[in-house]
Amino acid sequence: MIEMETTSTNLRTQEMVLNMGPQHPSTHGVLRLEIELDGELIVDVRPHVGYLHRCFEKHCEAMTYPQIVPYVDRMDYLAAMYSEIGYAVAVERLLGIEVPERVEYIRIIMGELQRIASHLVAVGTYGLDIGAFTPFLYCFRDREKILTLFEMTCGARLLYNYIWPGGVSHDLPPDFIRMTKEFLTEFKPTIVELNNLLSYNKIFIERTANVGILPLETAINYGVTGPNLRASGLKWDLRRDDPYSIYDRFDFEIPVGKGWHGTVGDCWDRYYLRMIEMEQSVRILEQAIEQIPEGDVTSAIPKRIKPVEGQIYTRVENPRGELGYFIVSKGGLQPHRVKVRAPSFVNLEILGELCKGHLVADVVAILGSIDIVLGEVDR
Amino acid sequence: MIFDYISSFLGAIPAAVIAGLVPMVFIIPFALFAVYWERKVSAHMQDRLGPMRVGYHGFLQTIADILKLIQKEDIVASAADKPLFNIAPVLTFTGSYAAFAAIPFSSAYIGANIDLGVLYIIGVSGLVVAGLLMAGWASNNKYSLLGAMRSAAQIVSYEIPTVIVILTLFSMVGTLNLYELSELQSSNMFNWMIFGGTVTGWKKIVLIPLMFAAFLIIYLTTLAEVNRTPFDIPEAESELVSGYHTEYSGMKFAMFFLAEYANMFAVSAIVTSLFLGGYHSPFGYLGNTIGITWLVPIEQFFWFAFKGIALVTVQMWLRWTLPRLRVDQLMVVCWKYLIPLSFLIFLIVSLLMVL
Amino acid sequence: MKQYISNIYSALATVFIGMKITFKHLFVPAVTIQYPDVRVTLPGRVRNRLYVNMDDCIGCDQCARACPVDCISIETVKSVPGEDLGKTSNGKKKALWVTKFDIDIAKCCYCQLCVFPCPTECIYMTDVYEFSEFERENLVYSYITLTKDEVLEKKANFEKFEAEKAAQKAAPKPPAPEKPAPPQA
């Protein structure tokens, strides 16, 4: 952090307002930032959201439960599988149905593959924000392999409509397990390579370590979740602390930020935590692929979803944090109200807090390390 | 010298014009090639193919790009300062083009054999800063202004270590004439300045690591002067969109682009002339062996271009590997690392020369 | 001072490690392909342009109801007794003339929700993914097999039939209002 020099109290300089976005290479979508600058030092940052608002929540009230699934995909388009898992878990709990064992395993495999894919984008674009172009393309190369696996399974690469309340739309294709194993063996060296190319690079460390430090208390006060919270040092992962699906059966670690190159909760920690989480996802995947049972995947899908009157809040650990669904049912075919607690939206709130006193270049570094998806921020 | 040769039967002014146009014949094809080369190098480093459509493996891609740029509408923002806005790209290109005057391409061609050639180049590249500042200011765009301010700070401060390294060389060889400097490094690869020049004995062994360090320093500083990653802060595309040339389009943008690539070669050429033996071959000359003397300058030109392009390739390699520094870290690298180190080298080398 | 030297060392070392990696990748074959010349083989389940096999369509409107973006619009006319519409490939008898089956593919979100409820599996997603158009109207695909005249004829037939029914109903007052017999099934 650069210390602001107070040369003279009676010398007043005019502050410049710099408008960053909504069309800007590194606002990760259509986010608009209003930055108040003193020279290149940041006095204040005000994020303006809503450029991608699609009335998702209101729209849900006019659609039947299965019809909402394709819309859920479009919230966090980098982790659409996980949005679907969250929605499916919520509706299942509302209906009180159990899903077959195989479906649970498929969901976990898909979810963890999606977590790797999403973190790859986060890590790659973070490199891009810092100015390193090449790691981005290495990340995308591997993400494409995951998307090919998804395409084999459900026919779509980005917006899947695969995980339905009560089951999944298709069973795994015959080659899936073999190809996933191949992918995992190929992917492990890539993490090492990415670390050598980007994470341990001195310039990269200089750019990110000790920048945008998020103290644990601030993080909790702002409701930050996911890798951002864990990088600040709290071991809080819903996969372990509020288990849904069958995550309690797997052996994996929850990494926390340790301030490897600077202070706990700086940008480097947030970035590197995603690297470790990818390794842990690989671990879960390896176990899940070994254990997956045979069975029917569509048997538990209800013919028509018509829950009784009631309401439910469920939360899952999306690659970006706590993704919560609050659904109110008045007994009809359509939900009475759907509210989504989007992790990106909540995490974005800390941007102003983190940026104060930094340089313009750091805004990009901090914004990238928070890893937001505007589709989810605006919904 | 080509100038003397032409002026002997055409007069001074036409000779100056002709001699002045010769580098243009080199720069424009070079820039076209370098853009293509950069795209190809980056593509293959990133497991891609790069341009493949236009011509064999996309070889004519840059020509197609230029044709596109020529056709583009020349947009000038209504709030821009029009005269400055129009002059800026020309001035930038002039600055980098003027630097070619003092660069010895081969023993037969040097635009102007100036005694203070190196200093002339350093001075004339200062024009580039003026051009960038003008572009940044005249665009009336905050991003452009920030980019221009950054580039001014950067280029000015990075000239200091460059000059100190040149001073080191000056203390060794006693000349700032690039032609003479190149001639001093002739006949043998180990006469190159990077290997301690023509100094002999134990001093040479001491000099080699120092000269390597000096070479690295001048390479880094020149990298910063042409705004390449990791020092591409003025045009940092992820922060400032594209810095001072955000508002430019069409041919004016192409001028900036051309200036950037011309500059890349210019600084590589300076580094080559100073440290890597200039236009001299690391081995003997084919022309001397088989007795065709006119072949020698052509061979020399080949070696010069080869070394220059090799250094440019390393610039590209660095660009596609490294992240970029922040503006204050850039200053830290310059003032806390490069300047003290170059002073240290200067001190030791000068002492060695006195001994 | 120690920090100073270690900074220089780590900067140079990590830069060289990075350069080594990118250099190695210079010789890795490209993972991208030359798209229009070379194409990836798409998996069997791929979801692209919708297609409707009208021979099998019974006009049940289930796909249109499943669609979350309402991009399918179907209109049907009941057949009058005596008309034979044939059977679908899985043995269902057709009873409705499908006079309009439009899919606005520009609206379609490729979610495949329309495919699952179809009782005759006549609507499905193909692997055609290149169908861009200059006019948005061209993206409204009409799948009906009837010509315009035929559509009018069927409508007229049905209206005539209805009118006859109504006339029959109107003439003898007392009998209970009997619905026109559903034309087969």
For residue B2, tell me if it sits in a domain: no
Residue B3 lies in a domain: no
Is A211 contained in some domain? yes
Confidence (pLDDT) at C185: 44
For the ranges A30-44, A231-245, B20-34, C76-90, the lowest mean pLDDT is seen at C76-90
Tokens of A285: 């995947």
Interface check A360 vs B, CB under 8 A: yes
Rounded Cα distance between A194 and A199, Å, is 7
Query: Is the Cβ–Cβ distance between A371 and A139 less than 8 Å?
Result: no
What is the DSSP code string of C34-68?
A: -TTTS-PPPPTT---SEEE-TTT-----HHHHH-T
- Quick one: closest CA in A to C112, which residue? A161
Q: Does B336 touch chain A (CB under 8 A)?
A: no
Tens of pLDDT along A263-284? Answer: 888 888 888 888 898 888 898 8
Distance, in angstroms, between A145 CA and closest chain B CA?
14
Residue C180 confidence (pLDDT) above 80: no
Q: Is A196 on the interface with B (CB under 8 A)?
A: no
Whether A357 maps to a domain, the answer reads yes
Over residues A192-227, the pLDDT tens digits come to 888 888 888 888 888 888 888 888 888 888 888 888
- Alpha helices by DSSP H, listed for chain B, are 2-10, 12-45, 61-71, 82-98, 117-124, 126-138, 142-173, 178-184, 202-225, 237-240, 250-275, 286-290, 295-319, 327-332, 339-354
Q: Is B323 on the interface with A (CB under 8 A)?
A: yes
Q: Does B320 contact A at CB distance below 8 Å?
A: yes
Of A183, A168, A171, give the one whose Cα is nearest residue A113: A183
d(CA A39, CA C84): 82
Task: Walk me through the domains of chain C, giving residue ranges and CATH numbers.
Answer: 50-168 (3.30.70.3270)
Q: Is A132 in contact with B328 (Cβ distance < 8 A)?
A: no
Say if the ipTM goes beyond 0.90: no
Question: Is the Cβ pair A129, B322 closer than 8 Å?
Answer: no
Facing A364 at nearest CB: one of B46, B232, B239: B239
**DSSP 3-state of A80:** helix
Is B184 among the domain residues? yes
Q: Let me know if residue B247 belongs to a domain.
A: yes
Q: Which residues contact residue B272 at a Cβ distance below 8 angstroms, ignoring those fewer than 6 apart?
A: B278, B304, B307, B308, B311
- Counting beta carbons within 10 angstroms of the beta carbon of residue C29, is it exposed (0 to 12), middle (13 to 18) or buried (19 or more)? exposed
Mean pLDDT of the residues in chain B: 81
Number of domains observed in the structure of chain A = 1
User: What residues in C contact A61, CB-CB < 8 Å?
Assistant: none
Q: Among B238, B137, B190, which residue's Cα sits nearest to residue A368?
A: B238
Closest CA to B306 of B283, B285, B267, B278: B278
Tell me the CATH number at A309: 1.10.645.10
Provide the total of helices (H) and of strands (E) in chain C, helices listed first: 3, 5
Chains touching chain B, criterion 3+ CB pairs below 8 Å: A, C
In this complex, do C26 and B318 lie within 8 Å of one another by their Cβ atoms? Answer: no
Q: B300 is in which domain, residue-wise? A: 81-354
Q: What is the pLDDT of residue C73?
A: 87
The reply to whether residue B323 touches residue A127, judged by beta carbons under 8 angstroms, is yes
Predicted TM-score (pTM) of the model is 0.85
Test C112 with A159 for CB contact under 8 angstroms. Answer: no
pLDDT above 60: residue A108? yes
Answer yes or no: do C18 and A197 touch at CB < 8 A: yes
Q: Which residue among A70, A153, A203 sits closest to C109, beta carbon to beta carbon?
A: A70
Specify the pLDDT at position A4: 52
Q: Tell me the shortest Cα–Cα distance from B134 to chain A, in angstroms.
A: 19
Cβ A359 vs Cβ A42: under 8 Å: yes
Within 8 A of B45 by CB-CB distance, chain A residues are 134
| Residue A310 near residue A94 (C-beta atoms within 8 A) | yes
User: Does the pLDDT of residue A7 top 60, yes or no?
Assistant: no
Q: The sheet that has A41-48: what strands, in order across it?
A: A16-20, A32-38, A41-48
CB nearest to A203's CB, from B143, B239, B322: B322
Contacts of C27 (CB under 8 A, 6+ apart): B44
Give which of B42, C17, C14 is closest to A204, Cα–Cα: C14
Q: Give the residue-averaged pLDDT of B56-72.
A: 85
Question: pLDDT of B260-290, one tens digit each?
Answer: 888 888 888 888 888 887 787 777 777 777 7
Task: Tell whether B67 is covered by a domain.
Answer: no
pLDDT score, position A5:
53
Measured CA distances, A104 to A85, A248, A313, B271 (Å): 10, 12, 20, 63
Give B321's contacts in chain A (Cβ within 8 Å).
Answer: 132, 134, 197
> Does the CB of B335 have a partner CB in chain C at under 8 Å?
no
Cross-chain Cβ contact C11/A200 below 8 Å: no
CA distance C47 to B302: 56
Assigned domain for B339 exists: yes
Per the CB < 8 A criterion, the answer to whether B275 and B215 are in contact is: yes
End-to-end Cα, chain B, rounded Å? 37
Give the domain extent around A181.
16-378
Strands A163-164 and A41-48: unpaired
Give the pLDDT confidence score for residue A1 in this predicted structure. Answer: 47
**B113 in contact with A, Cβ within 8 Å:** no
The whole-chain average pLDDT of chain A stands at 85
**CA A203 to CA C13: how far, in whole Å?**
11
pLDDT at residue C119 in the model? 83
Mutation choice for C interface testing from B38, B47, B61 by most C CBs within 10 A: B47
Q: Establish if B192 belongs to a structural domain.
A: yes
Confidence at A11, pLDDT banded by 50, 70, 90: low
Token duo for residue A149? 């696996």
Q: What residues of chain C have any CB closer than 8 angstroms to a CB in chain A? A: 7, 10-11, 13-15, 17-18, 21-22, 25, 31, 42-47, 66-68, 109-113, 116, 125
User: Band of the pLDDT at A10, cuts 50, 70, 90?
Assistant: low
Question: Which residue in A has a C-alpha nearest to residue C20's C-alpha?
Answer: A197
Our count of domains for chain B comes to: 1
Residue among B260, B269, B255, B261 nearest B234 (CA): B260
Task: Calculate the CA B17 to chain-centre distance.
Answer: 23
Chain C residue with minimal CA distance to A70?
C111
* Any domain includes A154: yes
Q: Is the pLDDT of residue C183 over 60?
A: no
Is C113 within 8 Å of A70 when comparing Cβ atoms?
yes
